[in-house]
Structures are given as C-alpha cells and as structure tokens.
Amino acid sequence: MTGATEDLFTPIHKGLRAMMYDLSERLQSNDFEDLEATRRVVTDLEHDFEIARTAGCMICIFHRHADDEESQIFPAVRGSDAGLVETLIQEHHGLTRQELAITASGHELLGMPDAAQRMSAGIRLNQAMNALLADYVLHMNREERELVPHMSKHFTNEQLAAMRGRIIGGTPPDRVAAILTWMLPALNVTELTDFFGSLRASAPPPVFQALAKLGEARVDANRWRIVKARLAR
Ligand SMILES: [Fe+2]
Ligand SMILES: [Fe+2]
C-alpha cells in the first residue's frame, strides 16, 4: 500500500469530457442542409488511423488516449488486477468499433448531394455520437473509480510520474498543446495550482512560461487570478 497521490487519469479525462460535450453540442445544433458547416464539424470529429496524430481531429484524440493507456499503463497493472485490465481493453475495442462506424457515416453523409437525405443521415450520426459519448464517459468513470484507487495502492508517485513522462514524451507537441487547450480550463483551482506548481519546479522556464500563457488565455479569468495568487504564496 503506497498511498500515492499522482492521478494519471482524472485531469486528462476532464479535458476529454470538455471536448466531447463541445463536439456533441456542435453536432446536435448543426444544419445538415448546409454542406460547408457539415463538412467542418464532420472533419473535426473524423477518425482515420493514418492521420491519428492530427491534433485537430477529436475522435483521433479519444482513440490515441486509449492507445496510450494500453501501451504505458495497463501492462504495469496487469500483475495486480488482470481482470480489470481485460475489462477496460474490451471496452476500448467497443469504443474503437463505434469510432470507425461514425467516421464511415460522416464520409458517407458528406457524399450525399440531397439535403433531405443529409438531414436524415445527420439524425443517425447524432444518435451514434451520443452512444459513443455515453459509453466513453462511463468507461472513463470506471477508470477513475476503480483504476485510480487501485494504482494509488500499488504504485509509488515516482512510478506514476515516470508513466506519465513516457506518455507525454511519446506524444507529438501539437497534440499535447491541443489536449492542454481543453484540459486546463476543465480543471479546478486546486488542480491548476498543483499542475503549474509542479511544472514550475520541474520544467525549463520557457516551457513553464508558454503553458502559463496558454492557461491565462484559456482558463476563466476569476479562476486564473486565484491560481496566480496561490502560486505566489
Ligand atoms: Fe481507457
Ligand atoms: Fe482513460
């Protein structure tokens, strides 16, 4: 029992949920008669394994998140809870199947010349996206409720920080920036203060300054003021 406090899941999941809610809101209010507007929202959600590193593709980010867990975190957990890891991997496979089906539907929809046909396909696309988001939110909840406490018992803060370092080190900088753009405004003041406090202690000053600038631009002004005051203590 180590009682580690590092949490590899909750902050990134907060960012992913914020992205998903935004995407869902855009999709459900989209005018599928308007082909250009439809192209923009479908392009943003499109998933393609060949371009899975594209920062702006939201489903790519969801998919890569699952890949990172499977390559950098789950192998270490397998020894202490193989059943939980197996369940989570099966859930990842189900999410991937849904992502691929949504991508195919999006492409098909963009190829429909008839506006009424696009409107009907748009209803089905919304329903498929809602099912994916519901399943993804439940899956992340399981990781937060079961995996986070399990890992805090079985790993040290140093081991958890090393796993996070390997994930960030293997992620292209544009995707790190895209994720932080969503994650920082999704965190509460305590999480933001911890994030920037440890960044200031461990990262080169230009990295800290660049991310502080991103935080200032993206986080609600009142919350950012509190974070700055706490960091100055
Ligand atoms: Fe996962
Ligand atoms: Fe996750």
- Please write the tens of the pLDDT for every residue from 1-39: 678 999 999 999 999 999 889 889 999 999 999 999 999
CA 129 from chain center: how many Å? 15
CATH 1.20.120 fits 10-170, yes or no: yes
- Give the start-to-end residue ranges of the domains of the chain: 10-170, 187-233
The per-residue pLDDT for 51 is 41
50, pLDDT greater than 60: no
Distance 65 CA to ligand 2 centre (A): 6
Distances, alpha carbon 194 to alpha carbons 11, 131, 163, 230, in Å: 11, 34, 18, 10
Tell me the average pLDDT across 194-217: 92
Which ligand is closest in space to the CA of residue 70? 1
- Answer whether 0.75 is exceeded by the pTM: yes
Distance 29 CA to ligand 1 centre (A): 28
Which ligand is closest in space to the CA of residue 66? 1
Q: Which residues place a Cβ less than 5 A from the ion ligand 2?
A: 143
User: HSE on the CB side for 102, CA within 13 Å?
Assistant: 30
Distance 12 CA to ligand 1 centre (A): 11
Least confident of 43-47, 182-186, 203-207: 43-47
Distance 140 CA to ligand 2 centre (A): 5
Distances, alpha carbon 224 to alpha carbons 145, 160, 176, 193, in Å: 28, 27, 21, 9
Distance 32 CA to ligand 2 centre (A): 31
Distance 75 CA to ligand 1 centre (A): 13
Q: Which residues place a Cβ less than 5 A from the ion ligand 1?
A: 66, 69
